[in-house]
Structure 1
Amino acid sequence: MKTVFMIAPYFVPRRRVGSLRPYRFVIHLQSFGWKPVVCTIQDQSQEKTDAEIQALKNVEILELKPPFDRTGGPPASSGMKKKRTLSSKAADALAEWFDSQVPMDTWIFLFRSSYGKILEKARAENPDIIWSTGDPWSGHWVGHKLSRDLNKPWIADFRDPWTQTNLNLRRRSRFSDWRDRKLEKKFISAADRVVFTSKATERAYQQHYRLDEEKTATIYNSYHPVDQESSDGEWDAEIDSSRVNLLFFGSFRRLSPAAPVANAVGKLTPEEREKIRIHSFGNLEESDTEYLEKMRLKHQFITHEKVLPTMAPSVFKKADLLLLSTSRERKHIIPAKLWEYLNSDKPILSIAPNPEIGEILARAGAGVHFENQDSDAIARFLSAAVQKKEKGEKPVEITRKPKTDLEFSPEYTTRQLAGIMEELTTDG
């Protein structure tokens, strides 16, 4: 059995975007002849589920303990509000400013100080290949350095565009942006294979860096339809089931603003608007609040306390439509939320600039896709949903395609990764 040393800055039990992709690879790699060894950032504020403990019982994990961690802790727990004081807001603002000044991200300090421990573990394992994922992009700094020090092939996994985007994941200073671009070019040149999570991102990077097709690949994120009764607790929010309820399982923010769906709702008749509610979690950002007030749609947008991701099945049951929305500037990405939604049997309404999302929804029979500027078409779709609900029918009918579910399963995507690793570690 061959060995892969995996740099996954975020990994379970951390409940953040980016932890599930490496986790799903790790728990299936042994089925394809690969022993995974994981290096990650420790999160003491959360615990693995029983299922995760069982799945990882034979996996070696090197956890790096940070001196402090503002990213840890559950995003929320039901029934518990996170108090926001002036001092905590000031601390957040200072941390965001500091992060914007540091090339890659501030985890680089932990990785640099822990590199001796990482290298010692990697040498003891003598891996056949190195794999790293970002963001955090400092994970690729570790992957690149290990690859050079151990003289092993390296796969760089880009879950999102790093610098080749009009809307960065985090705010960057002019210096950090310049340095990030230098580092991205260096890492892409050094990697034996660069893997992306959308074909649109892969094409954009091929064109910008003039990469050969053999240099890159796309491996989608994955999903596996689950028992809808299986949930970590029940969501007890009171939802008016007489209305068409759109649910955005997250917070509207800079990367995923409320405007795209608000623009469509604003085109409905006053009577139709009253039949629609859009639910999200956490407070609206000031810009979204001002926009909704200007559109006179504020009361249509209902916010709830954040819940644990493991409560998703319970939350989704109360929705008529699961809303996927992202900024029109994020042309190449497929939001990770899509794969979370595909676990459910609820129809998905996607409003995003990447048509690749529509292709996936069509293949899975899971919903409909519109681009951000298609407000008139979205309004007609919502109007039809309102009329069907008033007749006692389902607002939107879908027919899921089990065969396609298999094509996007964790086993299938892990097989793709294992194939690439085998190719890069086989002589001749």
Structure 2
Amino acid sequence: MNKRALLIAFHFPPQAGSSGIQRTLSFSKLLGRHGWEPMVLSAHPRAYGVQNPSQLAAISPDLVVRRPFALDTKRHLGFKGRYVEALAMPDRYVSWWFGATPTGLSMIRRYKPQVLWSTFPVATAHLIALGLHRLTGLPWIADFRDPMLQPSHPTSKRLRAIYGWIERQTITRCRFAVFTTHSALRSYRERFPEIDPAKFLVIENGYDEEEFGRLIEAATANAPAPSAASVSSAGKRTTLLHSGVLYDAGRNPESFLAALAALKSAGKIDAASLRVVLRAPGNIPATQAKVDRHKVGDIVEVLPPVPYRDALGEMLAADGLLLFQGTPFNSQIPAKVYEYFRTRKPILGLVDPQGETAQVLRNAGFTLSAQVDNPAEIGAALERFLPGLRDGSAYVASDEVIAGASRTHKAAQLARLFDEAAR
């Protein structure tokens, strides 16, 4: 291949804690199938507060990866968690810019890529790409996993001004601006009416078929032979799983736990028939305190993070999957929803019906949902959801939905943009 693309991404293995690493990682593995040889400009691992070295095995040995100097202002230049705001403009990893710009220029001179691609967050990634674009004239595709300026973020007036400048420079100078949701795309078209609407496009997140294929193959190979003495499904304890971070606003499990408590008090569920797992919720002690407050600790387990592949395996093993996504996240779609589709498991969405996540679930055929902050509605939804899990009648994603959610499909979309930009 003589078509090369330079991918600029802060979130890349061994960084852990951000689903964003899977987007860049999958593009780095799959673009080659569509005629593009990727290379990655990331940050030195010292900048990552949480690391998962096992993810490094997922990087192709042929992939060119450069990791120039980078610090985390809070950890390396702060004191007891406090730091000077000016040293974290536009973000805590601004020091990455000083190492990444000359390293990026060196990569461009040596490998001669035809396009640049950068992904936000972190804002410094777009700042690096902006500089390389202006210095070299290479066409630039800017990826927005989230909108840069949101009503509640950033909160600092100075930081909002800097974000606004980077955002406008990016939208003005990039060849294409790519978003993961249609609502984000619409908001940018409304905010930048002077820009050609054709510049704005959507490439959603997706799942990695390679990872799922390995897990399914391993599970099949290790599965015990059927036995006449096997316990019947009627006596099986049903497992519900939520995998990922929870927040006090928008992804608060409080109402869900209240619904469980009410069903338990009414004798409709118990620890012998139902197990709920809240995996990697972020603040584990605070989440556990909510579970204890509602007296459902015999049903609900709050568990720490596990490596990515183990998390996928846990999704495949669960009977049903939970998705928390309330009003503050109406313009966002959690990346795991596409992985949920691929598991072919029933999904209960605790969502705002007006949000983009609710729309994606409806479009995929998942019609049963409840307001994330309405215990009565959640309880009623659970009463309809759980019997379907036990008798196998609950809806799962179709082959068509699963195929469209594959990251192979998303990489093909990005490769077509690279082709057009390079022309």
TM bracket (short chain): 0.7 to 0.9
Distance 1:285 1:92 in 2: 25
What residue in structure 2 maps to residue 83 of structure 1? none
* Aligned pair partner of 1:131 in 106, 109, 117: 117
Distance 2:236 2:264 in 1: 18
Secondary structure, aligned partner of 2:117? strand
Please give the per-residue CA displacement for 1:120-158, whole angstroms capped at 9, x wherever unaligned.
222322222211001111100011111111012211100
Distance 2:264 2:54 in 1: 48
Distance 1:402 1:92 in 2: 52
What residue in structure 1 maps to residue 330 of structure 2? 331
Distance 2:80 2:387 in 1: 45
What letter matches 1:218 in structure 2? V
Distance 1:180 1:133 in 2: 14
What letter matches 2:308 in structure 1? P
What residue in structure 1 maps to residue 128 of structure 2? 142
Distance 2:245 2:416 in 1: 37
Q: Compared with structure 1, are the counterparts of its residues 303 and 189 closer, same or farther at alpha carbon in structure 2 (3 Å cutoff)?
A: same
Q: How does 1:378-389 map to 2 (within 5 A)?
A: 378-387=378-387
* Aligned pair partner of 1:279 in 271, 277, 280: 277
What residue in structure 1 maps to residue 372 of structure 2? 372
Offset of residue 198 of structure 1: 0.6
Q: Compared with structure 1, are the counterparts of its residues 100 and 416 closer, same or farther at alpha carbon in structure 2 (3 Å cutoff)?
A: farther
Q: Does the alignment pair 1:158 with 2:157? A: no
What residue in structure 1 maps to residue 257 of structure 2? 262
What residue in structure 2 maps to residue 393 of structure 1? 391
Distance 2:312 2:32 in 1: 29
Greater mean deviation of Cα atoms: 189-198 or 274-283: 274-283
Q: Does the alignment pair 1:109 with 2:99? A: no
What residue in structure 1 maps to residue 205 of structure 2? 221
Secondary structure, aligned partner of 1:329? helix
What letter matches 2:309 in structure 1? T
Offset of residue 223 of structure 1: 1.6
Offset of residue 316 of structure 1: 2.2
* Aligned pair partner of 1:182 in 159, 165, 175: 165
**Is contact 1:253-1:288 (8 Å) kept?**
no
Greater mean deviation of Cα atoms: 253-262 or 402-411: 253-262
Secondary structure, aligned partner of 1:19? helix
**Is contact 1:29-1:418 (8 Å) kept?**
yes
What letter matches 1:193 in structure 2? F
Secondary structure, aligned partner of 2:42? strand
Q: Does the alignment pair 1:25 with 2:27? A: yes
* Aligned pair partner of 1:419 in 411, 416, 420: 416
Please give the per-residue CA displacement for 1:43-100, whole angstroms capped at 9, x wherever unaligned.
38544568624xx2332211224357989xxxxxxxxxxxxxxxxxxx89615x6579
What residue in structure 2 maps to residue 302 of structure 1? 301
What residue in structure 2 maps to residue 94 of structure 1? 81
Q: Compared with structure 1, are the counterparts of its residues 231 and 348 closer, same or farther at alpha carbon in structure 2 (3 Å cutoff)?
A: farther
Distance 2:175 2:418 in 1: 10
Please give the per-residue CA displacement for 1:310-329, whole angstroms capped at 9, x wherever unaligned.
10243224422211113421
Distance 1:93 1:347 in 2: 44
What residue in structure 2 maps to residue 253 of structure 1? 247
Q: Compared with structure 1, are the counterparts of its residues 399 and 17 closer, same or farther at alpha carbon in structure 2 (3 Å cutoff)?
A: closer
Scaled by the length of structure 1, what TM-score is found?
A: 0.79
Q: Compared with structure 1, are the counterparts of its residues 183 and 325 closer, same or farther at alpha carbon in structure 2 (3 Å cutoff)?
A: same
**Is contact 2:238-2:274 (8 Å) kept?**
yes
**Is contact 1:348-1:367 (8 Å) kept?**
no
Q: Does the alignment pair 1:2 with 2:3? A: yes
Q: Compared with structure 1, are the counterparts of its residues 187 and 267 closer, same or farther at alpha carbon in structure 2 (3 Å cutoff)?
A: farther
Greater mean deviation of Cα atoms: 409-418 or 249-258: 249-258
**Is contact 2:252-2:372 (8 Å) kept?**
no
Greater mean deviation of Cα atoms: 200-209 or 367-376: 367-376
Distance 2:344 2:403 in 1: 15
Offset of residue 263 of structure 1: 5.3
Distance 2:371 2:244 in 1: 20
Distance 1:251 1:407 in 2: 25
Distance 2:10 2:395 in 1: 37
Distance 1:92 1:10 in 2: 25
Please give the per-residue CA displacement for 1:246-304, whole angstroms capped at 9, x wherever unaligned.
21112423463213533544664622354654322356467656665665556654212
Greater mean deviation of Cα atoms: 334-343 or 20-29: 334-343
What letter matches 1:213 in structure 2? P
What letter matches 1:62 in structure 2? R
* Aligned pair partner of 2:58 in 52, 58, 70: 52
**Is contact 1:123-1:150 (8 Å) kept?**
no
**Is contact 2:207-2:406 (8 Å) kept?**
yes
Structure 2 residue runs of 5 or longer lacking an equivalent are 223-234
Greater mean deviation of Cα atoms: 241-250 or 12-21: 241-250
Distance 2:245 2:29 in 1: 30
Secondary structure, aligned partner of 1:156? strand
What letter matches 1:223 in structure 2? Y
Structure 1 residue runs of 5 or longer lacking an equivalent are 72-90, 235-240
Q: Does the alignment pair 1:402 with 2:404? A: no
* Aligned pair partner of 2:174 in 171, 186, 191: 191
Secondary structure, aligned partner of 1:94? coil
Offset of residue 245 of structure 1: 3.0
What residue in structure 2 maps to residue 203 of structure 1? 186
What letter matches 2:241 in structure 1? L
What letter matches 1:345 in structure 2? R
Distance 2:157 2:367 in 1: 40
